[in-house]
Amino acid sequence: MLPLLLAAALALPSPEAADFLQAMPPGLQARQEAAIRQASAGNLAPLEAIRAERLKAAKPTPSGGGLRIENDQAAGVPFRLYEPEAAPARATLLYLHGGGWTIGSRDSCDAFCAALARRATLRVISAEYRLAPEHPYPAALDDCQALLAALQPRFPGRWFAAGDSSGGNLALALNRRAPLDALLLYYPVVDATADGSPSWQRYGQGYGLDAGLMEAFNEAYAPEAERRTNPELSPGRCPIDHRLPPTLLIAAECDILTDQGRAFFTAHRAIASPITYTLIPGSVHLFITVPGQPQAREAALARSADFIDLVLKLLH
């Protein structure tokens, strides 16, 4: 445990992460936490206002620049399709956005999905799954599974899943239900409880994901506490009962989720799962979907493209 304690004590945000944190609206995390807790108690108005603000600020990527982009739906689940135009897609990647299962949308991860589709010559499908607390577990996961089953016959070939934060949690759970060819996980939630780790304590306030907000996310998604420790919600807390497909886990260094992600990687490496771990030095939560940490985002994008190249070579 000592190395984790030292890492948590010594890691500081990079200059771009420090600027990102400084630019965050004061009180935003507390406002989000309060809205989610009010929604869980039956008053949805504050949370709906936050969701509407995010949608109003969104600027979806238009078609062009080598991509055809369109909105569609299958199995009753809306999605956004990013299709390369210059060359056939080498595989299909189902992207599951973050936002603590309660906020976020296909718009929030739009820029990253478009960039990944271009960089890796992938067909990317971004799911608009139902949100908690109106639709608690397993609604979001059921939507992801239904969308995957509906689209696999339409797009035959290799299928990957990816997601950031709670979206990474959904990607892992989806792979349990419908095994995929590879996973890409960006600072994923692998323990849907207050894990109490050194990173949870060190970065629990003021680093892009406050502990109180994360607890509100967990409680909204799984209101019954006993459900939060099942393998579909907390795979890092449960005994390992299967090997992963080729998996890339990219972690933020200054993040309450850092230690649980590292522990998950270590446990799966011990049973020879083909999992790769990349820590982005000095980064904080949100660099995949929220502008402000361009170097961290570019590092994650480049590492993802390299990983996809390697996986496709191994699968051929």
Give SS3 for 203. coil
CB atoms within 10 A of CB 97: 27
- Dihedral sign, CA of 289, 46, 41, 106? negative
Nearest Cα residue to 106 out of 50, 55, 150:
55
The rounded distance, in Å, linking the Cα atoms of 46 and 52 is 10
* Length of the chain (residues): 316
Q: Looking only at Cα atoms, what is the longest distance across the chain?
A: 52
The rounded distance, in Å, linking the Cα atoms of 170 and 274 is 19
Here the contacts of 133-139 (C-beta below 8 Å, separation 24 or greater) are 133/36, 133/39, 133/40, 133/102, 133/220, 133/221, 133/223, 134/39, 134/44, 136/220, 136/221, 136/222, 136/223, 137/101, 137/221, 137/222, 137/227, 137/232, 137/233, 138/232
pLDDT in tens, the chain (316 residues): 334 444 445 699 999 999 999 999 999 999 999 999 999 999 999 999 999 999 988 889 999 999 999 999 999 999 999 999 999 999 999 999 999 999 999 999 999 999 999 999 999 999 999 999 999 999 999 999 999 999 999 999 999 999 999 999 999 999 999 999 999 999 999 999 999 999 999 999 999 999 999 999 999 999 999 999 999 999 999 888 888 999 999 999 999 999 999 999 999 999 999 999 999 999 999 999 999 999 999 999 999 999 999 999 999 8
Q: Decide if 289 contacts 100 (C-beta within 8 A).
A: no
β-pairing verdict for 123-127 and 92-96: parallel
Query: Residues of 129-145 as b/e, b for ≥16 C-beta within 10 angstroms?
Result: bebbbebbbbbbbbbbb
Nearest Cα residue to 182 out of 100, 252, 90:
90
**pLDDT attached to residue 7:** 46
Q: Rg (Cα) of the chain, in Å, rounded?
A: 18
Nearest Cα residue to 74 out of 163, 1, 144:
144
Nearest Cα residue to 216 out of 186, 188, 193, 189:
193
